[in-house]
């Protein structure tokens, strides 16, 4: 009989968005898992791919429209320059708490043993090639391949 | 609470971290390492001593800082303490578990 006691052994995180707050949420969760000795893998799909796209990953923004937690009227959030302003402010705060930028965070995760997967379907849709993506990317895989990574007792899956 | 480690009565918290670093010596570190399935090598001790120094200087520990320490890189840190590098190494070092999420 299994002696599995319910503890988390592996986190599979699906990142489908490339707004700064969502990307950081995924990265902190993956890194935090590794720090606890838990395996972690991220599957980048749809807009989430921008977080590992070489030319785009340095230019991710905070969402100011449709984000009630920004505490600003939605119409104001849509004004030119608002997203850039909010992004600059958030990046400053992140630096204060010793949060690495996206590229450094990817490096930390790869060194920590986090596996990074890109979704084949989304890659095809956006016409991205593997060479366009961050060098630490493990592989471009299908959803089926990704599910196989979860065939370990104690695997949890999270969609962001 | 009190726990017997390496034949001595030691004050630890619920997670097994030493409360008073003055109670620490190498045999305590060795015993905690064994309990956590870590076979200590000179390299392990080098890292543990470095962490103790940082703690003494009140430097908050994070994986990012370790990576920039020039003492050890993140990859090797994980290789030495695969079951949670900062979590296990600080316990062996007799210093508090870092409160940071990074």
pLDDT given for residue A60 in this prediction: 87
Asked if residue B101 is part of any domain, the answer here is: no
Averaged pLDDT score across all residues of chain A:
90
- CA-nearest residue to B68 within chain A is A108
pLDDT band of A74, cuts 50, 70, 90: confident
What are the domain boundaries of chain A? 11-150
High-pLDDT (> 90) share of chain B, % = 72
Say how far apart CA A151 and CA B57 lie, in whole Å.
44
**Is residue B11 classed as helix, strand or coil in its secondary structure?**
strand
Which residues in chain B have their CB less than 8 angstroms from residue A37's CB? 82-84, 87-88
Q: pLDDT (tens digit, 9 = 90+) per residue, B65-101?
A: 999 888 999 999 999 999 999 999 999 999 999 887 7
Q: What is the pLDDT of residue A31?
A: 96
CATH class of A11-150: alpha beta
Q: How far apart (Å, rounded) are the C-alpha atoms in residues A43 and A145?
A: 10
Check CB contact under 8 Å for A98 and B78: no
- A-chain residues within 8 Å CB-CB of B67? 108, 111
DSSP codes of every residue in A124-150:
HHTT--GGGB-TT--EEE-HHHHHHTT
Summarize pLDDT for A8-51 with one digit per residue, the tens.
Answer: 999 999 999 999 989 999 999 999 999 999 999 999 999 999 99
Nearest to A11, CA basis, from A146, A136, A119 = A146
In a domain, B102, yes or no: no
Cα–Cα–Cα angle for A66, A70, A71, rounded to 5 degrees:
105
**Could you tell me if B65 lies within 8 Å of chain A, comparing CB atoms?**
yes
Instruction: Note the pTM of the prediction, 2 decimals.
Output: 0.89
Q: Which long-range contacts (CB under 8 A, 24 or more apart) does B54-59 make?
A: B55/B21, B55/B90, B55/B93, B55/B95, B55/B96
As for the ipTM of the complex, it is: 0.87
Contacts of A97 in chain B (CB under 8 A): 102
Task: State the average pLDDT over residues A122-147.
Answer: 95
How many domains does chain B fold into?
1
The alpha-carbon gap from B10 to the nearest alpha carbon of chain A, in Å, equals: 24
What secondary structure, in 3-state letters, does A8-26 show?
A: CCEEEEEECCCCHHHHHHH
Does B21 fall in a domain? Answer: yes
Q: Which residues of B are catalytic?
A: 101
Check if A35 contacts B (Cβ < 8 Å): yes
Q: How many CB atoms lie within 10 A of CB A75?
A: 8
Among A28, A108, A113, whose Cβ lies nearest the Cβ of B67?
Answer: A108
Give the residue with greater pLDDT, A49 vs A71: A49
Q: Domain of residue B19: give its range.
A: 2-93
Residue B34 pLDDT grade (very low, low, confident, very high; cuts 50, 70, 90): very high
Q: How confident is the model at residue A2 (pLDDT cuts 50, 70, 90)?
A: low
Query: CA–CA separation, A139 vs A125, rounded Å?
Result: 17
């Amino acid at each position: 009989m299994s002696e599995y006691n319910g503890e988390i052994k592996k986190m599979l995180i699906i990142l489908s968005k490339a707004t700064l707050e969502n990307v950081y949420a995924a990265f902190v969760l993956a890194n935090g898992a590794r720090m606890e000795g838990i395996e972690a893998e991220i599957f980048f799909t749809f807009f989430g791919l921008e977080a590992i796209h070489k030319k785009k990953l340095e230019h991710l923004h905070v969402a100011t429209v449709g984000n009630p937690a920004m505490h600003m009227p939605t119409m104001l959030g849509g004004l030119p320059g608002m997203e850039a302003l909010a992004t600059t402010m958030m990046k400053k705060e992140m630096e204060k708490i010793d949060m690495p930028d996206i590229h450094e965070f990817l490096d930390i995760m790869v060194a920590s043993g986090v596996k990074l997967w890109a979704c084949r379907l989304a890659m095809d849709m956006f016409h991205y090639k593997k060479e366009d993506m961050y060098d630490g990317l493990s592989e471009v895989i299908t959803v089926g391949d990704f599910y196989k990574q979860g065939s370990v007792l104690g695997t949890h899956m999270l969609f962001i | 609470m009190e726990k017997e480690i390496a034949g001595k009565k030691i004050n630890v918290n619920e997670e097994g971290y030493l409360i008073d670093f003055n109670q620490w010596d190498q045999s305590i570190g060795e015993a905690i390492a064994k309990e956590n399935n870590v076979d200590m090598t000179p390299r392990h001790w080098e890292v543990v001593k470095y962490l103790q120094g940082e703690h003494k200087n009140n430097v908050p520990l994070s994986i990012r800082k370790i990576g920039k320490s020039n003492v050890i890189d993140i990859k090797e840190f994980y290789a030495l303490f695969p079951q949670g590098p900062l979590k296990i190494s600080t316990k062996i070092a007799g210093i508090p578990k870092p409160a940071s999420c990074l």
